[in-house]
Structure 1
Amino acid sequence: MENTTLRGEHSDIDQVFIEFWLRAKNNSTFWILDGPLNAIICITVIILNILFLIVLQRKEMRSVTSFVLSAIAVADLLRTLISLPVSLYICVPYFKSYTPYHWCVYLKMPFLLVSNVFYTSSVWLTLYLGVFRYILVCHPIKAKLWCRYKIAIGVVILIFVISLFSYVCLLFMRKITRVVFWNEEEKRSVSSCFVDVVDTWHNYIFIQTILEIIFVQIIPCVGMLFITCKLVYTLKSAARSRKAMSRQLNRSRNESHQTTLLLIAILIAFLVFEIPHSVLQVFIILMINLHRYHFLLSYLRLFDTILIQILYITSTFNFCIYCTMGTKFRLTLKKIMSFN
């Protein structure tokens, strides 16, 4: 049943959030994407990231790079844990088309705020990982000063703190509104709610969205693209002079070379799926505010939902890439799995 009371007079940006439950109830495709499929992806991400963290904490795997990778895994893990309850609720047989009141409190605080904080932290930590490796490979002298544990710990904490304060304003921008309507299926009045924008903040919600696209998607993507190209160029240049090195030095350089290749693969995997999502977000915002091509919004939202599920899957890429390309990582993982 489609509830017109829940729709009211709201901005189109908020309408997307309000319709989250309605679309999953009334559309089987959205129900699969937001419910069972997302739940399976979340459980997979949780298991693999926990395993990834266990391997990285082994004595033979500890390094500054492993510390940054662990911070990324923690951010992805916490973001997935926040999203899992919503997907599991959509899967249950008694899932309703209206939003229960107690779920609005969860959607306003953990789901909307905390998940955004951890997603932003994960993006910027991935960018920092690329910058960190760029300094090690391209500026080895400066690396002794800038690529230390104390610096890495400070940067990781700073990223989490800035991400948190960037979204604190959402607590004041949005409010929980209770509504009562007649449910034709249950033949009774139902008390429900939705998360709405406070009237005094309506003019700022668009600015908040634009800033989020710029600083969470566009700038990190451009930075990672530049760093990836620079690392690839540096590796090709270093390959020409590798024959002149001694055997022991070659062995050390080969290990560093493999680590750099691993991080390049991580950056490329992130960019392949993050760039289309960023472009789509910009296109949707333009369509909404220019009031054009609204007939395409339903298809774009479906495509956006699919991209979001893919972005969740990318949280497992670090583990998969290291399993595929990292010799030391595979050996350590085998020791753990064989309880050796």
Structure 2
Amino acid sequence: MADDKDLLDYIAPVSQNLTNIMTIDNGINEINGVIPSHTNYSLYDNETGFLEYSNFTTDDYCSSNHSHVYLNVTCEFPINYAEPMYGYIAPFLLATTTVANTLIVVVLSRRHMRTPTNVVLMAMALCDMFTMLFPAPWLFYMYTFGNHYKPLSPVQACQAWNYMNEVIPAMFHTASIWLTLALAVQRYIYVCHAPVARTWCTMPRVMKCLIYIGIAAFLHQLPRFLDRQYVPHITVWRGHFEEVCRVEFSPWVNKVSLDAYFSTYFGFRVIFVHLVPCTSLVVLNVLLFKAMRQAQMNRRRLFKENPKNECKKLRDSNCTTLMLIVVVTVFLVVEIPLAVVTILHIISSTIVEFLDYRIANILILITNFFIMASYPINFAIYCGMSRQFRETFKELFIRSVVSSRNGTSSRYSLVNGPRTCTNETVL
């Protein structure tokens, strides 16, 4: 989740006897301990005197046994923060995001709303929604229903947890980041290089761009589908034998070495998923804002010469540009803190260790939670700043209901929507 739940991946330093891999993807982080000398059978792995779990604090519970050997959510997350945020608040965010983004897709898929810009916005809404939908069953099971302290089994369940809670959300969130960058680039072309917009911002080109982004996001996460495996592990849990999942890295990862694999993966992620997109979006936002201010000056001048036609076109184009600036700004506000902490982590784990990882985990958990909370905001932005979006929404969900009750029909009068100077339908 937001989550990608923005789901950021994260390595802790490698010690001599224990490799701790910490993965934080869209609000979810994972600590997998691998002890090569440990066997698949351990009589006292989770022996705690057969006392109830409630008699222990989280720290006591995790330090009093070998729960780091197998998949145990209580010992993988800052549970005091994760449980209220992902167990009690996240279900409401999931419902809100699902409803809001579904409405966005329905409205933008209408015939008169199909434009290159709207297609990108629709793809962003779908990616954000899937980022939260895939891990939702596990968040309910682990946090809402309070099963996080139980060892997860069988192996298939552990694999599903990894894929649905870590890898797939990260894939969709990565695609959403690149789609946001594509949206900003597209709008920059419309506003600052209008003559080439008719060539570069056509519907076929935009559809190809969306396909390329989807393929790139999948390829980026493909190693995460294959970099670890879960094997059955027998332990004693609360007084009885229990089969749990022990995490091991795949042979090919060990062959290329953990340092080489994770340095390559996280180096690529930091540069191309966080640093370059966020920096580019800041620059494009500044350029778009300056262009919009210049357009406002042109609008005042044109109003004196032609108060009806050209002035209206510039006003409509300005409204669309301002709305997209707000969308990108909201994205940057929640993404930049996560990118900063990730970069600091990479520096701390490769050059000089200075981070307190307990605090870093809490900060990233909270940051990812705010990323999830930002997903429904776009619907409010569209409704508040786009006249055509409001009109189409009213036509679909308000006037149609009233008309059906009155036995009359209603149809949106702007079939093709108003046109801007670049021949793009205003959102």
What does 1:4-15 align with in structure 2 at a 5 Å threshold? 9-13=18-22
Q: For residue 277 of structure 2, what is the aligned residue in structure 1? A: 220
Seen in structure 2, the aligned counterparts of structure 1 residues 228 and 291 have a Cα distance that, compared at 3 Å, is closer
For residues 10-38 of structure 1, give each alpha carbon's deviation from its aligned partner in whole angstroms, at most 9, with x where no partner exists: 23436951377114788332211232222
TM-score by length of 2: 0.72
Post-superposition offset of 1:237: 1.4
Residue 152 (structure 2) pairs with residue 99 (structure 1) = yes
Identify the match of residue 183 of structure 2 among 122, 129, 145: 129
Larger CA deviation: 108-117 vs 254-263: 108-117
What is the alpha-carbon distance in structure 1 between the residues aligned to residue 75 and residue 100 of structure 2? Answer: 30
Contact 1:53-1:73 within 8 A present in 2 as well: yes
How far did 1:239 drift? 1.5
The alpha-carbon deviation at position 142 of structure 1 amounts to 0.5
Of 108, 115, 124, the residue aligned with 2:162 is 108
Q: Per-residue CA shift, 1:111-162, capped at 9, x if unaligned?
A: 3322121111100000000000000000010101001000100000000011
Alignment partner, residue 101 of structure 2: 49
CA shift for structure 1 position 87: 1.0
Counterpart of 1:5 in structure 2 is none
Aligned residues: 330
TM-score, reference length from structure 1: 0.90
Using a 3 Å threshold, how does the CA distance of structure 1 residues 127 and 195 change in structure 2: closer, same or farther? farther
Bigger Cα displacement from structure 2, 129-138 vs 234-243: 234-243
Work out the CA distance in 2 between the residues paired with 1:189 and 1:25: 25
Q: Deviations over 1:295-324 (max 9, x none)?
A: x21122111111111111222222121112
User: 1 CA distance for matches of 2:19 and 2:234?
Assistant: 17
**How far is 1:82 from its partner?**
0.8
2:378 alignment counterpart: 318
Q: Could you say what secondary structure the match of 2:135 adopts?
A: helix
Q: Assess, with a 3 A threshold, how the Cα gap between structure 1 residues 218 and 113 changes in structure 2: closer, same or farther.
A: same
The question of whether the paired residues in 2 share the 8 Å contact of 1:137 and 1:231 is answered with yes
Q: 1:82 aligns with which of 131, 134, 147?
A: 134
Q: Distance in 2 between matches of 1:70 and 1:168?
A: 25
Matches within 5 A, 1:56-75: 56-75=108-127
- Which of 368, 375, 393 is matched with 1:308 structurally? 368
Counterpart Cα distance in 2 of 1:68 and 1:298: 37
**Structure 2 residue 306 is matched with structure 1 residue 252:** no
Q: 2:328 aligns with which of 267, 272, 293?
A: 267
1:290 and 1:190 mapped to 2: Cα distance?
41
Once the two structures are TM-superposed, the CA of residue 329 in structure 1 deviates from its matched residue by 1.3
Q: Does 1:279 align with 2:361?
A: no
1:163-174 to structure 2, matched below 5 A, reads 163-174=217-228
Separation of aligned partners in 1, 2:394 and 2:275: 39
Matches within 5 A, 1:227-246: 227-245=284-302, 246=306
- Could you tell me which amino acid in structure 1 is paired with residue 74 of structure 2? L
Greater CA drift, 111-120 or 227-236: 111-120
Task: Check if 1:298 corresponds to 2:298.
Answer: no
Alpha-carbon offset, residue 249 of structure 1: 1.2
Deviations 1:141-194 (A, max 9, x none): 01010010001000000000111111112223222233222112xx21111114
Q: Is the 8 A contact 1:104 1:195 kept in 2?
A: no
Contact 1:113 1:167 in 2 (8 A): yes
- TM superposition shift of 1:39: 2.6
- Looking at structure 1, the residues matched to 130 and 21 of structure 2 have their Cα atoms a distance apart, in angstroms, of 29
Answer yes or no: is the 8 Å Cα contact 1:173–1:205 preserved in 2: no
> What percentage of aligned pairs have identical amino acids?
23
In terms of mean alpha carbon deviation, does 20-29 or 244-253 score higher?
A: 20-29
Please identify, of 161-170 and 326-335, the stretch whose mean Cα deviation from structure 2 is larger.
326-335
Cα deviation, 1:37-77, whole Å, max 9, x if unaligned, reads 22322222111111111111123322111111011111112
Change (3 A) 1:126 1:336: same
Distance 1:26 1:274 in 2: 21
Which range moves more in the overlay, 165-174 or 270-279?
Answer: 165-174
Q: Secondary structure at the match of 1:99?
A: coil
Contact persistence 1:42–1:81 (CA under 8 A): yes
Say whether the 8 Å CA contact 2:295–2:318 is kept in structure 1. no
Amino acid corresponding to residue 181 of structure 2 in structure 1:
L
| Secondary structure of the corresponding residue to residue 96 of structure 1 | coil
CA distance in 2, matches of 1:96, 1:339: 50
CA distance in 1, matches of 2:321, 2:117: 10
Q: Matches of 2:391 and 2:75 in 1, distance apart?
A: 46
CA distance in 1, matches of 2:106, 2:268: 36
Residue 97 of structure 1 aligns to a residue whose secondary structure is coil
Rg (Cα) greater in structure: 2
3-state DSSP class of the match of 1:128? Answer: helix
- Kept in 2, the 8 Å contact 1:14–1:197? The answer is no
* Equivalent of residue 336 in structure 1, options 396, 411, 415: 396
Q: Distance in 1 between matches of 2:78 and 2:237?
A: 15
Question: What amino acid is aligned across from residue 243 of structure 1 in structure 2?
Answer: R
Residue equivalent to 1:4 = none
Cα separation, 2, equivalents of 1:25 and 1:152: 40
Gaps of 5+ in 1: 1-7
Aligned residue identity for 2:372: Y
